[in-house]
């Protein structure tokens, strides 16, 4: 009977430098390859895919990887570079062999929990000086043409890392504000004119006749 094949150790997790390099490659139109380090509910360990976009690092799972037809978000600790090996751990000095009375059982490794959720795709639209938001999770649409307050768009722009996209959002909100301010000024001027005309209809006190 041939000896059982030893399973290869997974590659080390992505470092901050790895994530920065991947972000630059994606911005340049490339799709760098990565490998899934640990098995999840629907993804086997060792599965390889291509990074298609990166979200906000404040989110735990912000690296979106295309696996076949699916787009699945991962945390940097769940991904590695294909072919990269973990550095060999230094050998600990050989200790004296403990007696049987002091030997303790070796704890079993605890499997890391893995959670996979369907990615959510948000579509932001601007038409007729109004913002709307559409949301879709997997193949299910969860929001269609939901009105979005301009202040929410302004707040969203503060968290967008891409300069051209952030500038486009801020410029559009500012342009809409100018239009509304001009309309408000015109209404105030018209109201002032109406108030002035209304004074002509006020009852004037009669003059007292002299004796």
Strand 48-54 vs strand 63-67: parallel, antiparallel, or unpaired? antiparallel
| CA nearest to 64, candidates 76, 77, 51 | 51
Q: Which of 49-63, 92-106, 136-150 has the highest mean pLDDT?
A: 49-63
| CA nearest to 34, candidates 9, 63, 57, 69 | 63
- Integer angstrom CA distances of residue 31 from 64, 65, 68, 81: 11, 9, 14, 13
| CA nearest to 51, candidates 76, 16, 26, 19 | 26
pLDDT > 70: percent of the chain:
77
* Tens digits of residue pLDDT in 61-109: 999 999 988 899 999 999 999 988 877 666 766 666 655 655 676 766 6
Strand partners, 134: 123
- Provide the residue ranges of all domains of the chain, joining segments of one domain with +: 16-80, 120-199
Please give the model's pTM, rounded to 2 decimal places: 0.40
* CB contact burial 74-105 (16+ within 10 A = b; e otherwise): bebebbbbeeeeeeeeeeeeeeeeeeeeeeee
What's the whole-number average pLDDT of the chain?
Answer: 81
pLDDT recorded at residue 194: 92
| CATH 3.30.300.30 matches 16-80 | no
In terms of DSSP H, where are the helices of 28-162?
150-157
User: How many other C-beta atoms lie within 10 A of the C-beta of residue 122?
Assistant: 10
């Amino acid at each position: 009977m041939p000896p059982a094949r030893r399973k290869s150790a997974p590659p080390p997790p992505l470092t901050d430098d790895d994530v920065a390099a991947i972000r630059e490659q994606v911005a340049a139109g490339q799709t760098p390859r990565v490998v899934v380090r640990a098995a999840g509910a629907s993804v086997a360990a060792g599965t390889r895919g291509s990074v298609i976009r990166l979200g906000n690092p404040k989110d735990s799972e912000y690296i979106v990887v295309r696996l076949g037809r699916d787009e699945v978000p991962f945390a940097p600790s769940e991904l590695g570079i294909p072919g990269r090996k973990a550095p060999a751990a230094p050998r600990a000095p050989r200790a004296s062999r403990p007696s049987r009375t002091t030997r303790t059982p070796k704890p079993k490794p605890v499997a890391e929990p893995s959670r996979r959720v369907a990615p959510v795709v948000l579509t932001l639209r601007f038409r007729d000086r109004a913002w709307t938001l559409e949301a879709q999770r997997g193949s299910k649409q969860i929001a269609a043409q939901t009105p979005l307050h301009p202040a929410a768009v302004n707040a969203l722009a503060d968290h967008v890392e891409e300069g051209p996209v952030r500038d486009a959002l801020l410029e559009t909100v500012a342009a809409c504000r100018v239009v509304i301010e001009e309309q408000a000024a015109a209404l105030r001027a018209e109201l002032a004119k109406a108030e002035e005309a209304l004074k002509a209809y006020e009852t004037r006190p009669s003059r007292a006749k002299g004796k």
